[in-house]
């Protein structure tokens, strides 16, 4: 039966308190409602720059064709010009008023040759305008598209790069970078924001080489949307949190009181009193495990420990402490007398 009470007091009841704590904590946290932020797309568009080209050849006795298509290897001495068509297409999710500016630039770039081509440093450049910038407007349309043709005089630019390299007499990698640029600005019909798009399409044409290949690259804005961002919000049910918090505090206090009562020292008042006497007067008390023969002694019962202390002070004889079953005996032996004070354990009586 005692074992069952121990299990109930030390395990089951604390477990019940723990469950109550968890329930109250869940109510507290449940009173806080967090709404995640979100991004709503109000307007989106797609800007697509592209290009195509063919390479015109000089009249020669080696190649019958007058021009060659894209993505081939071209012999520099046989190339006359490069004809490119740049295209641009813009498409939005709704009608808008847009203004776009476009043009084509060319730049000869010379880079100093190093053992690692990636480490080449630019040492010279020269810029040209192939198509001056033009501005046009589109009203109440979802999109627009246009094309721009450009005739690139390859022989002219190649001769410029070759002359520079020979005159300066420095190892150099040179190329012609032709860039088609389009800038778009405008406002959608719903007036949800402003469109600001910059796109480019590039042709990279090596110069001062016996043979070359043309590479292309396009670039547009990474984000082609206008969005409304809603920040995350936190809503607190104050009444629920207050009540649950108060219940949590009350439960904690009750649990504290329960622990104080349940897990406090199990020593009886008798044992506490004995330990207090031994601690306070340990310098004049001698604990003994075996009681001497007291059959020939005259036993004098002392009413209180204080009286026994007075006797010790008068006789200057240490007090003996002997535990006799459930009683504590404090003794002073003098001549044929045994002065005894008995502290009894009332719970065992």
The DSSP 8-state label assigned to residue 232 in this structure reads P
Cα dihedral 128, 131, 134, 139 sign: negative
On whether both 250 and 331 belong to a single domain, the answer is no
On whether both 115 and 134 belong to a single domain, the answer is yes
On whether both 11 and 75 belong to a single domain, the answer is no
The pLDDT tens digits along the chain (349 residues) read: 444 555 566 677 778 878 887 887 887 777 778 777 777 889 999 999 999 999 999 999 999 999 999 999 999 999 999 999 999 999 999 999 999 999 999 999 999 877 666 667 889 999 999 999 999 999 999 999 999 999 999 999 999 999 998 998 888 899 999 999 999 999 999 998 899 999 999 999 999 999 999 999 999 887 788 887 777 777 888 787 788 778 878 888 877 777 766 665 556 788 888 888 998 998 999 999 988 888 889 999 999 999 989 998 888 999 999 988 888 999 999 989 999 999 887 766 5
Distance CA 308, CA 13 (A): 47
Task: Determine contact, residues 199/182, Cβ cutoff 8 Å.
Answer: yes
Rg (CA), the chain: 51
Task: Determine contact, residues 103/179, Cβ cutoff 8 Å.
Answer: no
How many CB atoms lie under 10 A from the CB of residue 208? 22
On whether both 241 and 145 belong to a single domain, the answer is no
Q: Which two tokens stand for residue 21?
A: 């704590």
Distance CA 181, CA 104 (A): 6
On whether both 226 and 239 belong to a single domain, the answer is no
On whether both 196 and 239 belong to a single domain, the answer is no
140: left (phi over 0), alpha (psi -120 to 50) or beta: left
On whether both 101 and 218 belong to a single domain, the answer is yes
* Domain of residue 21, residue span: 2-35+233-262
Q: Quote the number of domains for the chain.
A: 3
What does DSSP say about strands 225-230 and 327-334: parallel, antiparallel, or unpaired? unpaired
Task: Determine contact, residues 107/176, Cβ cutoff 8 Å.
Answer: yes
């Amino acid at each position: 039966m005692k074992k069952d009470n121990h299990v109930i007091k030390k395990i089951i009841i604390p477990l019940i308190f723990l469950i109550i704590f968890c329930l109250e904590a869940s109510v507290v946290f449940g009173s806080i409602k967090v709404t995640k932020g979100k991004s709503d797309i109000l307007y989106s568009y797609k800007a697509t720059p592209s290009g195509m080209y063919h390479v015109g050849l000089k009249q020669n006795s080696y190649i019958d064709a007058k021009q060659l298509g894209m993505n081939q290897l071209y012999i520099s001495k046989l190339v006359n010009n490069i004809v490119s068509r740049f295209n641009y297409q813009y498409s939005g999710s709704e009608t808008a008023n847009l203004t776009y500016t476009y043009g084509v630039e060319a730049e000869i770039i010379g880079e100093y040759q190093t053992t690692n081509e990636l480490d080449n440093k630019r040492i010279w450049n020269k810029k040209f305008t192939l198509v001056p910038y033009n501005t046009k407007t589109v009203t109440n349309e979802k999109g627009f598209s246009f094309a721009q043709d450009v005739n690139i005089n390859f022989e002219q630019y190649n001769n410029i790069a070759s002359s520079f390299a020979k005159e300066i007499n420095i190892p150099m990698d040179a190329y012609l970078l032709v860039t088609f640029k389009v800038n778009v600005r405008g406002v959608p019909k719903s007036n949800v924001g402003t469109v600001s798009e910059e796109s480019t399409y590039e042709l990279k044409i090596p110069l001062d080489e016996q043979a070359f290949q043309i590479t292309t690259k396009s670039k547009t804005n990474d984000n082609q949307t206008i969005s409304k961002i809603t920040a995350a919000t936190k809503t607190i049910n104050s009444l629920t949190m207050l009540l649950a918090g108060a219940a949590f505090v009350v439960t904690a206090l009750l649990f504290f009181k329960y622990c104080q009562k349940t897990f406090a020292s199990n020593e009886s008042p008798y044992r506490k009193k004995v330990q207090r006497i031994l601690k306070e007067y340990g310098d004049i008390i001698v604990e003994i495990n075996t009681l001497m023969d007291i059959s020939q002694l005259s036993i004098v019962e002392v009413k209180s420990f204080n009286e026994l202390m007075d006797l010790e002070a008068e006789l200057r004889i240490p007090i003996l402490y002997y535990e006799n079953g459930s009683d504590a005996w404090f003794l002073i032996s003098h001549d044929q007398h045994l002065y005894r004070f008995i502290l009894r354990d009332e719970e065992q009586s």
